[in-house]
Amino acid sequence: MRHVISILVDNEPGVLARIAGLFTARGFNIESLCVAETEKKSLSRLTLVTSGDDWIIEQIIKRFENMINVIKVDDFKETESLQRELLIARVTPTSKTRSEVLRVADIFRAKVVDVGTKSYALEITGSKDKLEAFVEILRPLGLKEINRTGLISLKREKN
Amino acid sequence: MKKFLGAELFFETLYKLGIKTIFGLPGGYVLKIYDVMPSYAKKINHILTRHEQAATHMADGFSRASGLPGIILCTSGPAATNTITGISTAYADSVPVLIFTGQVPTPFLGSDAFQEADHIGITRTCTKHNTLVRKTIDLPKAIAEALYISNTGRKGPVLVDMPKDVIIGESTFNFPKSVKISSYDDNISLKNTEYKNFINAFKISKKPLFILGRGACSSDSQKHMRKILKKFKSPALTSILALGLISGSEYDCGVLDYDSSSISKNLIEESDLIISIGCDLSKIINIKKLQNKLLANINIDKVDLNVLNGSDINLHSDSGEFMKMLSDENQIDFDWTDNEISEIRNNYKINIKKEIDSNKKAKIFSLISRICPKDTIYCSDFSYDEVNLQKFLEISDYKNNLMSGGNGTPGYGFPAAIGATFSRPKSKVVSISSGKNFQFNMQEMIVAVEQKINLSIVVINDSSDEKYPGPNYKLLAESFNVRATRTNISTLLEKDLKKFLDYKGVTLIEILI
């Protein structure tokens, strides 16, 4: 099963290696990883997406909690949290597809962030599914390369 | 304010933290620490070892025999990598040891400098925590925190890496008034709901069985456990590492480990509630055998809880706190009868006796423990091809049982025995190893001689192996100035053995089998 794990850690060197090391030890793949400072400068939040046996993931989370530099670990279910990702795509359309690319960008509420004589750079945020749909539609229209940040998430307020 | 060298801060801080003994070996980047050592010689005793692995085992033995933390000091690169086996050993059995390593100066970190190794990276998976000190002024705080982390919660080894510029730099002495690490919670207390769940199951069970592991020994819990067994008249099994915890109790039904006799397996079969305290269950029993049992698991480390994936009762707690609460419960009559338990105990003893009669090494172990005084510390090795021989000894206290359990380190026993003599100088210490295991760390005999300790070394020479015959251990020991003798098991007399074990100083007896 797919897990989105959010980890609050001390903003210190070596912490990321410690966390990534636990995944390597278990032979698990990290699908995406995003780390940045939080509202407090001394803390970082790390959002990690992985999939695997629930019981083993639970074991890994317990080991995270045992680490000295880890403050809090959440294993988010999709409904409990906001999940977003940012993607930048470079498209080199032909003269025929040029307007189609801009129309697709408009439908997906993507922004044009760079324009050249041959290409556009588009920026889009959204859920994983939305981004994947966007990429699939751009592909026949001259998609050259993409780069994405990986998922970030925040807990929803409980009612 | 007075300024100190990093090297001086190292000793000042250790002294303030109550450390009196360290084990180590000098080398390049820690030479400054050794330079200032003579002025601290009265406060802190430094034991010069001949190999860093042995230094780590000594600190480990020092700690297991007394409960005090063990301290190691060595330099970078080859010295630090030599300690890894010892660190893994301490980590597997949750022993509080602190490892101080020298490191290349901070500007050269990561440049493949002379004798450089990435200590933090290498020890990441075998320490509870590790840290690199970047400024001299931070050194006292780093040491105090390392000791705190090592010695609280589930104990374990902590490594502090000290670059050369930190050691030779100057700073004022900022000793932290109290240690508080925001992201580290050592205050694990038993939750009421968890305890109630357990008590409900306990009350309706008919035949509860206790399994006690190393974790049950970490707190001052011996008296509570004895009270529990007496009150509820229920049997208990110990893991090989918890040997001695309930010795002499009439409910002690022996050792549970992978090569256990059928008796402990039958006992598990017959009981309906298994209460495991401080065990890493997967290491001592085939978990599948517990699948249709009700299991209550008490552990300070969440990782070792929930081994049956949901069907067990988990109590995240310090074992001492749990035992104290349980020992204060009202008496409950279970279905065990005293006759039944004493029969199990008798059968266990008969089985042990049978093994002693058929296994020469077991015979030597049992003979030695018959001769030695009650409060003797026994140190032995795990051997690849044998059952755990420690169970053939009569061990009176868990602190007298020194062996590498989880890591199964060959060559652990002898250096650990040297370490134990420094924390318990009044107790008799015996190291029993097979020749092959003894060879792993035999160079440390010179340390034992230099330090003028009292230590009896027994080497079981398995000379039947003609392809790989060992050395003559008697001659070897004599070259180290150790009083030694060589004898054959068929002609070995109890009174001769006793005479030799009673000698003061370092002695070695080689027994050919």
Asked if B96 contacts B63 with a C-beta cutoff of 8 angstroms, the reply is yes
Same domain, B48 and B197: no
Same domain, B373 and B332: no
Asked if A108 contacts A151 with a C-beta cutoff of 8 angstroms, the reply is no
Distance CA B319, CA B311 (A): 21
Q: From the centroid of its chain, how far is CA B407?
A: 10
Q: Which residue of A has its CA nearest to B134?
A: A13
pLDDT at res. B18: 94
pLDDT at res. B389: 82
Same domain, B334 and B406: no
Ordered by start, the domain boundaries in chain A are 2-76, 82-155
Two structure tokens written together for B340: 């039944």
Interface contact flag, A18 B124, Cβ < 8 Å: yes
Is residue B429 a part of any domain in this protein?
Answer: yes
Same domain, B204 and B328: yes
Look at B265 and B155; give whichever has higher pLDDT. B155
Q: How many CB atoms lie within 10 A of CB B42?
A: 7
Interface contact flag, B120 A14, Cβ < 8 Å: yes
Partner residue opposite B303 with nearest CB, options A18, A62, A70: A62
Distance CA B258, CA B281 (A): 11
Q: Which residue of A has its CA nearest to B184?
A: A68
Give the largest Cα separation in chain B, rounded.
72
Chain B residues touching A57 at Cβ < 8 A: none
Q: What are the phi and psi torsion angles at A132 (to 5°)? A: -70, -40
Q: Closest Cα of chain B to A107: distance in Å?
A: 45
Same domain, B286 and B414: no
In 3D space, the residue among A113, A114, A121, A112 whose CA is nearest the CA of residue A142 turns out to be: A121
Is residue B44 a part of any domain in this protein?
Answer: yes
A2-76 in CATH: which number? 3.30.70.260
Q: If pLDDT is split at 50, 70 and 90, which confidence band does B132 have?
A: very high
Interface contact flag, A71 B182, Cβ < 8 Å: yes
pLDDT in tens, chain A (159 residues): 788 999 999 998 888 988 888 888 777 888 899 999 999 999 999 999 988 888 888 888 888 888 899 999 998 876 778 889 999 999 999 988 899 999 999 999 999 999 999 999 999 999 889 999 999 999 999 999 999 999 998 888 876
- Bridging pattern class, strands B455-461 and B506-512: parallel
Q: How many CB atoms lie within 10 A of CB B248?
A: 10
In 3D space, the residue among B95, B100, B64 whose CA is nearest the CA of residue B83 turns out to be: B100
Partner residue opposite B309 with nearest CB, options A17, A55, A68: A55
In 3D space, the residue among A11, A37, A7, A36 whose CA is nearest the CA of residue A22 turns out to be: A7
Residues sharing a CB contact under 8 Å with residue B26, sequence separation 6 or more, in sequence order? B34, B75
Interface contact flag, B302 A66, Cβ < 8 Å: yes
pLDDT at res. B465: 65
Interface contact flag, A17 B121, Cβ < 8 Å: yes
- Which of A9, A18, A26 best probes binding to B when mutated, by most B CB atoms within 10 angstroms? A18
- Which of B303, B304, B307 best probes binding to A when mutated, by most A CB atoms within 10 angstroms? B303
Chain A residues touching B128 at Cβ < 8 A: 68
Write out the residues of chain B at the interface with chain A, using a CB-CB cutoff of 8 A: 120-121, 124-125, 128-129, 132, 149, 154, 181-184, 301-303, 305-306, 309
pLDDT at res. A58: 85
Same domain, B463 and B489: yes
Say yes or no to pLDDT of B218 above 80: no
Asked if B458 contacts B511 with a C-beta cutoff of 8 angstroms, the reply is yes
Q: Closest Cα of chain A to B185: distance in Å?
A: 9
Q: CATH classification of A82-155 is 2.60.40.1890, yes or no? A: no
Interface contact flag, B303 A66, Cβ < 8 Å: yes
Same domain, B240 and B305: yes
Same domain, B419 and B495: yes
Chain B residues touching A59 at Cβ < 8 A: 303
- The alpha carbons of chain A give a radius of gyration, in whole angstroms, of 19
Same domain, B153 and B255: no
Q: Which residue of A has its CA nearest to B129?
A: A68
Residues sharing a CB contact under 8 Å with residue B500, sequence separation 6 or more, in sequence order? B456, B485, B507, B509
Q: Which residue of B has its CA nearest to A56?
A: B309
Q: Which residue of A has its CA nearest to B316?
A: A62
Same domain, B18 and B104: yes
pLDDT digits (tens, 9 = 90+) for B451-478: 999 999 999 987 766 777 778 999 999 9
- Looking up residue B372, the CATH number of its domain turns out to be 3.40.50.970
Interface contact flag, B302 A14, Cβ < 8 Å: no
User: Considering chain B, what is the average pLDDT of its residues?
Assistant: 90
Is residue B91 a part of any domain in this protein?
Answer: yes
Give the 3-state DSSP-derived string for B241-252, with helices as H, strands as E and coil as C: HHCCCCCCCCCE
Give the 3-state DSSP-derived string for B430-493, with helices as H, strands as E and coil as C: EEEEEHHHHCCCHHHHHHHHHCCCCEEEEEEECCCCCCCCCCCHHHHHHHCCCEEEEEEHHHCC
Q: Which of A114-128, B342-356, B375-389, B490-504 has the highest mean pLDDT?
A: A114-128
Q: Which residue of A has its CA nearest to B149?
A: A68
Chain B residues touching A55 at Cβ < 8 A: 309
Hey, is the C-beta of A25 within 8 angstroms of any chain B C-beta? yes
Interface contact flag, A10 B121, Cβ < 8 Å: no
Interface contact flag, B124 A62, Cβ < 8 Å: no
Angle, CA of B233, B370 and B402, to the nearest 5°: 75
pLDDT at res. B469: 76
Chain A residues touching B121 at Cβ < 8 A: 17
Size of interface A-B (CB pairs under 8 A): 33
Partner residue opposite A65 with nearest CB, options B128, B181, B302: B302
Is residue B185 a part of any domain in this protein?
Answer: no
Interface contact flag, A66 B184, Cβ < 8 Å: no
Residues sharing a CB contact under 8 Å with residue B168, sequence separation 6 or more, in sequence order? B5, B6, B7, B32
Say yes or no to pLDDT of B435 above 80: yes
Same domain, B381 and B315: no
pLDDT at res. B383: 65
The domain boundary residue, chosen from B309, B324, B346: B346
pLDDT at res. B495: 86
- The alpha carbons of chain B give a radius of gyration, in whole angstroms, of 24
pLDDT digits (tens, 9 = 90+) for B75-122: 999 999 999 999 999 999 999 999 999 999 999 999 999 999 999 999
pLDDT digits (tens, 9 = 90+) for B245-274: 998 888 998 888 766 667 777 888 888 999
Same domain, B250 and B141: no
Count of domains for chain B: 3
Q: How many CB atoms lie within 10 A of CB A152?
A: 21
Partner residue opposite A25 with nearest CB, options B125, B132, B305: B125
Interface contact flag, A66 B301, Cβ < 8 Å: yes
Is residue B60 a part of any domain in this protein?
Answer: yes
Is residue B186 a part of any domain in this protein?
Answer: no
In 3D space, the residue among B71, B78, B3, B8 whose CA is nearest the CA of residue B39 turns out to be: B8
Q: How many CB atoms lie within 10 A of CB B452?
A: 9
3-class DSSP state of B324: helix
Strand partners, A89: A122, A146
Domain holding B250, by residue range, is 192-346
Interface contact flag, A21 B132, Cβ < 8 Å: no
- Which of A66, A70, A75 best probes binding to B when mutated, by most B CB atoms within 10 angstroms? A66
Interface contact flag, B303 A58, Cβ < 8 Å: no
Say yes or no to pLDDT of B384 above 60: no
User: Using CB atoms and an 8 Å cut-off, which of residues 26-65 of chain A contact chain B?
Assistant: 55, 58-59, 62-63, 65
Q: Which residue of B has its CA nearest to A63?
A: B303
